[in-house]
Amino acid sequence: MNQEYPSALLERAVKEFTKLPGIGRKTATRLVLHLLRKSEEEVENFSNALTTLRRDAKYCKECHSISDTDICPICANPLRDHSIICVVENIQDVMAVENTMQYRGVYHVLGGVISPMDGISPSSLNIDSLIKRVAEGEVKEVILALSSTMEGDTTNFYIYRKLQQYGIKLSVIARGISIGDELEYADEVTLGSSIVNRTPFTGKTI
């Protein structure tokens, strides 16, 4: 769409919005014109929330998750099990696992997965600090909860080799058929993997 904007200011704002993932010109225009109908104060609140976050956001010195303090609330919580570390790619994943209410250990945010194609080497991820945490001797288990992709698998293997020597338990999250999914629509690799990695039936449904 070769859209001509009646105002350069409008065009600039729309262009900034289209830089966001999944936001095209049409959606961007709709969002910007929505903000234009709001009060000057409301638009400033919106803008300030973003610039303040970017300027003042801290990352936990322990797990690298976003935090308003040096140590995030999860790492600072004495009720969490500090002997289990769940390794995830990013902050969204921490929130996703937290939402399950099934995990009481702590986290380690890698900041991505190893991907030579995208120029992401092990040194650009928070892997050294993970090894350091394990080397301190308090950790009993590391759970790898990375994406089930080639990059995720590569990262799993890299971490496995680095942590091997410490004699801790290393596990990966279970892969299988999603709860509620019908078998006939599951992809073959997942279905095959779920048969190979079958678990004893305990009589409980979930």
Q: State the residues that interact with a copy of itself by CB under 8 A.
A: 1-10, 12-13, 15-17, 19-23, 27, 29-36, 38, 40, 43-58, 65-68, 72-74, 90-92, 94-95, 98-99
DSSP state string for 109-158: E-SS--BGGGTB-GGGTTTHHHHHHHHTS---EEEE---SSHHHHHHHHH
Q: What is the DSSP letter of 199?
A: -
Least Å distance between CB 84 and a copy of itself?
18
Q: Tell how far CA 27 is from the center of its chain.
A: 25
Q: How far is the CB of 25 from a copy of itself (least distance, A)?
A: 10
The smaller minimum CB distance to a copy of itself, of residues 19 and 204, is found at 19
Question: With respect to a copy of itself, which residue has the nearer C-beta, 16 or 181?
Answer: 16
* C-alpha span between 24 and 14 (Å, rounded): 9
* Least Å from the CB of residue 126 to a copy of itself: 14
Residue 48 or 165 with smaller CB distance to a copy of itself = 48
CB of 77 to a copy of itself, least distance (A): 11
User: In Å, how far from its chain's centre is CA 18?
Assistant: 23
Q: Which strand (E) or helix (H) includes residue 197?
A: none
Query: Is the CB of 103 or the CB of 163 nearer to a copy of itself?
Result: 103
Q: How far is the CB of 100 from a copy of itself (least distance, A)?
A: 11
Nearer to a copy of itself, 88 or 163 (CB): 88
Sign of the alpha-carbon dihedral angle for 143, 130, 64, 72: positive
